[in-house]
């Protein structure tokens, strides 16, 4: 398929000037331990010409090494490589001759023998339900660049590791050999607040069930359920995590104009926090917010006072009837006003007014 696509590409590019393709393919690919085969050797290569390589003596390749000349240069069709099959035996002899004393000569020789064997990767073990594809026939050696694929022999097992391994140039797999393991659900020792009906069993097969019971102030799934039967699914996971958790509340909520003493970031079920309102503010509801089933409960708000400035009094020609001056009036409180000397009420508003959530109507005198 790859060869067909390349040839099609070359047909589409047949109108490119010949000089460009000749220049693009002027330098041959550098393949270690290989030389151009005689049947494809040329002085000048043009677009569409094929080039094959042959490994040097003592080297071999498992795949053909073939290139084709394209408009951008040489394109690999079969990219094999030449690796050492068997090196010859080398003998190196070192002779040392020196004068130590008159008429005394030393001749020392050392022979070093090097024998390089074929580079190959270790045969992977085929046990534990592991299926291997791509092994050489008759348990032959596995050369570099050889590819193996792995799978499990049963849908009840899962492959742990890479499903594709490639033999490296130095005879080492690029990844560890994978393994197959059964799909099971597991439980550890029951955590605090959790009880299992099968306390001595910690490994469950798909379809197995486990009854989970929660202690006081602990819940499973939500803030209502304290007992549930969970099931091990086919993928080795529980349909519901078999752990009872204590529902805690986060930091208390922020309430407008209210404050509280913050001591921690989480609060257990039943714990409360006391709020405070600023001076002259009226608290509506209880002063406490309580953590209940993971949520804060309790109604509370701080109602702001009414503010009356001296300028407001002077503009309306009025005074406080009982106080010389009262800048803040609490929510719900009544205040009686009186006219300045020589002034009379204009009759539009009563001289007795109530402060309601920070607002109060001021009467006027003329």
Residues in the chain: 366
CA nearest neighbour of 67 among 83, 79, 81, 55: 79
| Domains annotated on the chain, with CATH | 2-84 (2.10.70.10), 130-182 (2.10.70.10), 185-246 (2.10.70.10), 259-303 (2.10.70.10), 306-354 (2.10.70.10)
> Does the pLDDT at position 20 exceed 50?
no
Distance in angstroms (rounded) separating the CA atoms of residues 119 and 218: 62
Q: Which residues contact 328 (CB under 8 A, 6 or more apart)?
A: 280, 305, 306, 307
Burial class of residue 182 (count of CB atoms within 10 Å of its CB; 0-12, 13-18, 19+): middle
Share of the chain above pLDDT 90, in %: 42
Q: How confident is the model at residue 37 (pLDDT cuts 50, 70, 90)?
A: very high
**Which structure tokens are listed for 232?**
């091990």
Beta bridge partner(s), residue 149: 133, 164
| 8 Å CB contact between 180 and 128 | yes
Q: Which residues contact 102 (CB under 8 A, 6 or more apart)?
A: none
Mean pLDDT in residue range 308-327: 90
* CA 306 to mean position of chain CA atoms: 55
Residue 199 has a pLDDT of 82
| 8 Å CB contact between 53 and 65 | yes
**Which structure tokens are listed for 98?**
């020196």
Mean pLDDT in residue range 183-191: 88
Share of the chain above pLDDT 70, in %: 84
Report pTM: 0.43
Q: How confident is the model at residue 22 (pLDDT cuts 50, 70, 90)?
A: low
Q: What is the dihedral of CA 167, 168, 172, 173, to 10 degrees?
A: -50
Q: How confident is the model at residue 100 (pLDDT cuts 50, 70, 90)?
A: very low
Q: What is the pLDDT of residues 260-297, one digit of tens each?
A: 987 788 998 889 999 999 999 999 998 999 998 888 99
CA nearest neighbour of 210 among 192, 190, 193, 225: 190
């Amino acid at each position: 398929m790859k060869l067909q696509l390349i040839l099609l590409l070359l047909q589409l590019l047949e109108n490119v000037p010949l000089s460009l393709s000749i220049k693009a393919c002027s330098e041959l690919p550098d393949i270690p331990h290989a030389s151009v085969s005689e049947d494809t050797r040329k002085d000048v290569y043009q677009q569409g010409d094929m080039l094959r390589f042959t490994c040097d003596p003592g080297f071999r390749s498992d795949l053909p090494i073939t290139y084709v000349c394209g408009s951008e240069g040489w394109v690999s069709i079969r990219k094999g490589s030449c690796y050492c099959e068997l090196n010859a035996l080398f003998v190196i002899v070192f002779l040392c001759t020196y004068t130590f004393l008159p008429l005394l000569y030393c001749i020392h020789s050392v022979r070093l023998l090097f024998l390089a064997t074929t580079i190959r990767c270790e045969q992977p073990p085929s046990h534990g339900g592991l299926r291997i594809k791509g092994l050489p026939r008759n348990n032959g050696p596995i050369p570099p660049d050889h590819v193996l694929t792995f799978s499990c022999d049963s849908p009840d097992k899962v492959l742990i590791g890479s499903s594709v391994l490639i033999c490296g140039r130095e005879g080492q797999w690029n990844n560890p050999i994978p393994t197959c393991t059964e799909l099971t659900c597991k439980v550890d020792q029951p955590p605090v607040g959790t009880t299992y009906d099968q306390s001595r069993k910690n490994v469950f097969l798909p379809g197995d069930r486990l009854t989970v019971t929660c202690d006081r102030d602990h819940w499973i799934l939500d803030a209502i359920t304290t007992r549930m039967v969970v099931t091990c699914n086919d993928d080795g996971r529980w349909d519901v995590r078999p752990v009872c958790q204590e529902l805690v509340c986060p930091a208390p909520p922020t309430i407008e104009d209210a404050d509280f003493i913050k001591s921690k970031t989480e609060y257990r079920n039943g714990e409360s926090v006391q709020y405070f309102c600023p001076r002259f503010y009226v608290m509506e509801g209880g002063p406490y917010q309580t953590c209940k089933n993971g949520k804060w409960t309790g109604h509370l708000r701080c109602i702001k006072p009414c503010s009356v400035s001296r300028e407001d009094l002077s503009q309306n020609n009025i005074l406080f009837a009982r106080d010389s001056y009262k800048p803040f009036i609490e929510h719900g409180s009544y205040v009686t006003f009186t006219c300045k000397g020589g002034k009379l009420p204009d009759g539009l508003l009563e001289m007795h007014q109530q402060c309601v959530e920070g607002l109060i109507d001021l009467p006027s005198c003329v």
